[in-house]
Amino acid sequence: MSFNTFWFVIIAVLWIGYFILEGFDFGVGILLKTVAKTQAERRAVLTTLGPLWDGNEVWLLVAGGATFAAFPEWYATLFSGFYLPLFLILVSLIVRGVSFEYRSKYGDSKWRNRWDNAIVISSFLPALLWGVAFANIVRGVPLKEENGVIEYAGGFFNLLNPYTLLGGLVTLSVFLTHGAIFLSLKTEGTIHDRARGLVTKIGLFAAVVTVAFLAITAVAYNSKTEVYGLAAVVAVAWLLALQFSHKGREGYAFLFSSVALAFAVITLFTTLYPNVMPSSLLESATLNITNASSTQYTLKVMTIVAVVLTPIVLIYQGWTYWVFRKRVSAKQISSPEVGVLDNINS
């Protein structure tokens, strides 16, 4: 395997980790006011994310950094062409982090309600826009080549079309279901019951739009037979997740929803390979793992660093999840006015 292919695979793995971990983060944030009606219940819901959400976002930072270092042309074209949606995602992530920290710094209920609304909105936007962005990459974007430089030749509204909006609905509904499964796994009492009740309702809608999206992708934007098998794995894993959730086996439900997310990302990256950003205008303007990559020496050094540090990061994050593995309920929240981090440390 060449260094170019190796780093294409590594970036795919990083996006798998981000979609699985930040996916339930977004889902929980969107469902905050749906599954939690009192201040104590909302505090309990946020406590399930308190020690995890910032670590989950690291996967995005590493994915972006790896793309910048391994495929600088891909990174530059992506951020220039998708500037507005990526800017909205960045602002949402900032607002979301601030909301987690500030909602309980003041005891007024209106103050907390405003921050709760901010959490819902700032979780909703990235969940939708990531699907739109990845659908555009798979579909192809208007790229042109001038004087040896490949540039984005479209505008914001070129990114909005039925296929990409369907991709946005896929990530939104899948993250919502994934978040509901996570809440049913991590909570007790009324919150658990409400979250579990939402899994099947949202999950069936997610199954329909995901199958439609993968079918269109396989037929219109793919020439590889293995993509059909990968799409079938996604469908089976998702149905198993819904079935286990219905039976009250939340651990298995979360496992299989994670498997479905992982194979969904694998399906998209398999469809892309060896391209990283197809051009819808000129085949010669398409970016692939060769013309978008850094030098072989750079990729070699990056590989050595990744091999040494990646296991340490995975062990640390796995340990974090193990330490905070117990379920949370509203009864454990001594005072709704206590902040997320204060409540965890108390």
> 25 has which bridge partners?
none
232: number of Cβ within 10 Å: 14
97: number of Cβ within 10 Å: 15
In this prediction, residue 335 carries a pLDDT of 57
Q: Residue 107, class by beta-carbon neighbours within 10 Å (0-12 exposed, 13-18 middle, 19+ buried)?
A: exposed
Cα 7 to chain centroid, rounded: 19
Per the listing, tokens 């199958």 go with: 211
Per-residue pLDDT tens digits of the chain, which is 346 residues long: 789 999 999 999 999 999 999 999 999 999 999 999 888 899 999 999 988 888 888 899 999 999 999 999 999 888 888 888 899 999 999 999 999 888 877 767 888 899 999 999 999 999 999 999 999 998 888 888 877 777 788 777 778 889 999 999 999 999 999 999 999 999 999 999 999 999 999 999 999 999 899 888 888 887 788 888 998 999 999 999 999 999 999 999 999 999 999 999 999 999 899 999 998 888 888 899 998 999 999 999 999 998 998 888 889 889 988 888 888 877 777 655 544 444 443 3
Q: Residue 315, class by beta-carbon neighbours within 10 Å (0-12 exposed, 13-18 middle, 19+ buried)?
A: exposed
What is the secondary structure of 198-229 as a DSSP string? HHHHHHHHHHHHHHHHHHHHHHHS---THHHH
d(CA 213, CA 9): 22
Cα 332 to chain centroid, rounded: 29
d(CA 216, CA 209): 11
What is the secondary structure of 119-184 as a DSSP string? HHHHHHHHHHHHHHHHHHHHH-B-EEEETTEEEE---GGGG-SHHHHHHHHHHHHHHHHHHHHHHH
In this prediction, residue 109 carries a pLDDT of 81
The radius of gyration of the chain from alpha carbons, rounded to an integer in Å, stands at 21
pTM: 0.90
d(CA 140, CA 285): 11
Return the exposure string of 180-193: e unless at least 16 CB atoms fall within 10 Å of the residue's CB, then b: bbbbbbbbbebbbe
Type of residue found at 147: N
